[in-house]
Amino acid sequence: MPSRGRFRLTPEQAENSVYNALKDGYRLIDTAHIYGNEEAVGKAIKRSGVPREEIFVTTKLWTEDFSNAEEEINNMLKRLDLEYIDLLLLHHPADHDKEAYKAMEKAVKEGKVKSIGLSNYYEKEFAEMMKIATIPPAVVQNETHPYNQQKTEKVYFDKYGTVLESWYPLGGRNRYGRGGKDTLFNDSTIVSIAKKYNKTPAQIILRWHLQDGNIAIPGSSNPAHIKENIEIFDFNLSNEDMKKIEALDKKQRFSTF
Ligand code: NAD
């Protein structure tokens, strides 16, 4: 199921785009303390009228919260105005992350959090965390798209039953000339596959994530794009087309972290 990820919007824009997404059938919402919009997410959930148990809310502890994670989890629940968080991630490796992971495990036992995971952890940091983890991460959220497919990482994470969640699933924004969305949308292989299925490049990329076993969390505040990005359940990419996209991998990250 695609999801909604929000960043750098006003509270009203964030609330409205989550509300629109829920109305269009999205059920996974990806937020984080550092995005500053957990309150807006909570308001959109209430406004949507969608039953809480149908919605999957992910949020992330920022690095500055790591030494104070137990209290911060309570603050998150207050900001989101929810009784539990479906998935809580450590946003990025940093000092005190093991303490924070332990606090997340405690929160699972207390019923405040249903599942836990990591973000921006690659094999080395992941292996370190596994030395102390008693609950393996349900997901690891890393930059993943056709140019950075995380194939070897996926095999490694799979040993722990950890699923890859793709941030920048479409290649990311083009702010500061760093994002890769336009690069991927103009890739000749993706453009020709899109024509063949009468879909947009965004839909082809999101369908590829789904068939490749990734959880994709595309971001947009544009209602037309929000709608477009969920219309990916009425077609299948052939094995041949999946292989063509697989061949685009060049381990290229568009972000600088
Ligand atoms: P993305 O790859 O999902 O989207 C890139 C840009 O494409 C968006 O900014 C949007 O303007 C545009 N877009 C979306 N749908 C489109 C469509 N159908 N047609 C044309 N343009 C379209 O990248 P993103 O939005 O930056 O990130 C997605 C989510 O990933 C974020 O909202 C966030 O929740 C998460 N994220 C997590 C981390 C992390 O460190 N864990 C880092 C970055 C982003």
pLDDT at 2 > cutoff 50: no
Distance CA 29, CA 26 (A): 8
Query: How many structural domains compose the chain?
Result: 1
DSSP character string of 25-74: T--EEE--GGGT-HHHHHHHHHHH---GGG-EEEEEE-GGGGGGHHHHHH
Q: What is the mean pLDDT of residues 177-203?
A: 91
Q: Is residue 57 a part of any domain in this protein?
A: yes
Q: Is residue 226 a part of any domain in this protein?
A: yes
119: β partners: 141
Structure confidence by residue, pLDDT tens digits, 10-53:
999 999 999 999 999 999 999 999 999 999 999 999 999 999 99
Give the model's pLDDT for residue 181. 82
Give the model's pLDDT for residue 174. 64
**Which protein residues touch ligand 1 with a CB less than 6 Å away?**
5-7, 30, 119-120, 141, 167-173, 181, 202, 217-220, 225, 228-229
Residues 6+ positions from 215 with CB-CB distance below 8 Å = 1, 3, 28, 139, 163, 164, 165, 166, 209
Q: With the CA atoms of 83, 110, 90 and 46 taken in that order, what torsion angle do they form, in degrees rounded to the nearest 10? A: -10
Q: What was the ipTM of the complex prediction?
A: 0.98
pLDDT at 101 > cutoff 50: yes
Residue 219's domain comprises 3-246
Q: Is residue 49 a part of any domain in this protein?
A: yes
Distance CA 21, CA 29 (A): 9
Q: Is residue 115 a part of any domain in this protein?
A: yes
pLDDT over 90 for what percent of the chain? 89
Q: Are 32 and 62 in contact (CB under 8 A)?
A: yes
35 is catalytic: yes
Residues 6+ positions from 110 with CB-CB distance below 8 Å = none
Give the model's pLDDT for residue 9. 84
Specify the DSSP element, H or E, that contains 90: strand 85-90
Task: Look at residue 238 and give its three-state secondary structure.
Answer: coil
Q: What is the CATH number of the domain that holds 138?
A: 3.20.20.100
Q: Is residue 257 a part of any domain in this protein?
A: no
List the structure tokens of 50. 């969608």
Q: Is residue 197 a part of any domain in this protein?
A: yes
- The region that residue 36 occupies, defined by phi over 0 for left and psi between -120 and 50 for alpha, beta otherwise, is left
Report yes or no on whether pTM surpasses 0.90.
yes
Q: Is residue 255 a part of any domain in this protein?
A: no
In this prediction, residue 182 has a pLDDT band, given cuts at 50, 70 and 90, of: confident
Q: What is the mean pLDDT of residues 182-188?
A: 93
Task: Look at residue 168 and give its three-state secondary structure.
Answer: coil
Structure confidence by residue, pLDDT tens digits, 124-156:
999 999 999 999 999 999 999 999 999 999 999
- Tell me how far the alpha carbon of residue 186 lies from the centroid of ligand 1, in angstroms: 17
- Tell me how far the alpha carbon of residue 149 lies from the centroid of ligand 1, in angstroms: 16
Structure confidence by residue, pLDDT tens digits, 105-114:
999 999 999 9
Q: Is residue 252 a part of any domain in this protein?
A: no
